[in-house]
Amino acid sequence: MSNSQDTSKYGQSGVSSRGAEASLDALLKHIVPSRNFNPAHPPKIESAYFANVIDFGDGMGVAFCTDGVGTKIVVAELLDRYDTIGIDCAAMNVNDVICVGARPVSLVDYIACSFTDERVFGELGQGLAEGARQAGVNIPGGEISQVKELITGIDLVGACIGKVDINKINTGAKVAPGDIIVGLAASGVHSNGLTLARRVLLGESREEQSANVRKHSDALGRSLGEELLEPTRIYVQPIMEILDAGIDVRAMVHITSGGYCNLNRVQADNIRFVIDNPPLTPAVFSLIQETGEVSDREMHEVFNMGVGFCVIVRDEHLAEGVIKIAEKHGTPAQVIGHVEACQGKEVVVPQKNLRGTGQSFQ
């Protein structure tokens, strides 16, 4: 579906989720065969998962992924504040790496820019360093590319590696009916859906957004820009403690673009994820939905709706252990649902009458 045909609010703002899926399929048609080009170090996971793992022999696997902050960087530009956006860059990568059961080790950054400025780049470095500190990783290098012909402003992308025993790779293949879904709270919008959030809350044009970004919102208790710039929560420390505690974790899922439909990425079949106890909707999402008249379907497809990460375990007792560890690290958590048997694989949110297959809700 092209952007011009997309009737969703997100499509009207310039981002076509379904168009992205079709484009990814076209790309993967050529990329997937490369899995066989280096048989000495094969990838161990299907391409659609959060991160992949390369087998280096002797039972050692190296997990890796790459991601950026998207148009959240525009909010930083509007506020002329760049000291937190690096946290988002680290978070989007390390939160994917831990989904496969790996411990993040190292992160590199790539900054494409149309200008250079000592203060701005110093602030970018502050955020990257803080993200690395929270995740317990190092940043051994990176790249700055001045490409004024391609972009206006800055684009920030990272790539992360982690380590995992080959026999401990977790892709959710053991998820089964009766399992319990624990949701770990998001810190805010995180780094997905910012194009829609900006246009709804700040206005269509850059001029409108510049005028509105510092407006105080009584509903949020701070300015609109401060709310949208809130850094993505990093889940490395609680997840590593959960794994080190020996809790039988069936799957770990980073809730990003696609919302709860990210649960459909687990590599088990004939299961239904029932989200029948979601947390109260954070104020920022209620404000986006009401102001932009965005449907429940699209809100749950574009945003995390207050849950940034899910841990699936066998029973309520183990769920209590997950919640206790998460809260010890300052991350609110609760049981948000369970797993049922079904034909195929889907996510349902009964309160909103939503049913999702793949990355989309119906």
The superfamily CATH assigns to domain 38-168 is PurM-like, N-terminal domain (3.30.1330.10)
Higher pLDDT, 2 or 289: 289
Which of 346, 193, 362, 331 minimizes the C-alpha distance to 263? 346
CA distances 133 to 86, 91, 239, 263, 302, Å, are 11, 11, 16, 28, 29
Query: What average pLDDT does the segment 107-115 reach?
Result: 97
CA–CA distance, 261 with 304 (Å, rounded to integer): 10
CA distances 103 to 99, 134, 135, 317, Å, are 10, 13, 9, 25
pTM across the whole model: 0.93
Q: What tens digit of pLDDT does each residue of 322-357 get?
A: 999 999 999 999 999 999 999 999 999 999 999 999
Q: What tens digit of pLDDT does each residue of 21-41 get?
A: 788 889 989 988 998 999 999
Separation of CA 216 from chain center: 27
Q: Looking at this protein, which amino acid is placed at residue 263?
A: L
Q: What tens digit of pLDDT does each residue of 215-258 get?
A: 999 999 999 999 999 999 999 999 999 999 999 999 999 999 99
What is the predicted pLDDT for the residue at 20?
A: 73
Which of 311, 259, 312, 265 minimizes the C-alpha distance to 289? 259
Rg of the chain in Å (alpha carbons): 20
CA–CA distance, 358 with 264 (Å, rounded to integer): 6
What is the predicted pLDDT for the residue at 11?
A: 67
What is the predicted pLDDT for the residue at 16?
A: 58
Would the pLDDT of 95 be above 70?
yes
Query: What average pLDDT does the segment 53-81 reach?
Result: 97
How does strand 271-274 pair with strand 345-349?
A: parallel
Higher pLDDT, 47 or 50: 50
Looking at the domain covering 180-361, what would its CATH class be?
alpha beta
Would the pLDDT of 2 be above 50?
no
Q: What tens digit of pLDDT does each residue of 302-316 get?
A: 999 999 999 999 999
Provide the residue ranges of all domains of the chain, joining segments of one domain with +: 38-168, 180-361
What is the predicted pLDDT for the residue at 3?
A: 43
| Least confident interval from 45-54, 129-138, 308-317, 324-333 | 45-54
What is the predicted pLDDT for the residue at 302?
A: 96
Mean pLDDT over all residues of the chain? 94
C-beta atoms surrounding 171 within 10 Å: 22
Query: What average pLDDT does the segment 295-300 reach?
Result: 97
**What is the percent of the chain with per-residue pLDDT over 70, rounded to a whole number?**
95
Would the pLDDT of 171 be above 90?
yes
What is the predicted pLDDT for the residue at 15?
A: 66
Higher pLDDT, 68 or 359: 68
CA–CA distance, 83 with 29 (Å, rounded to integer): 39
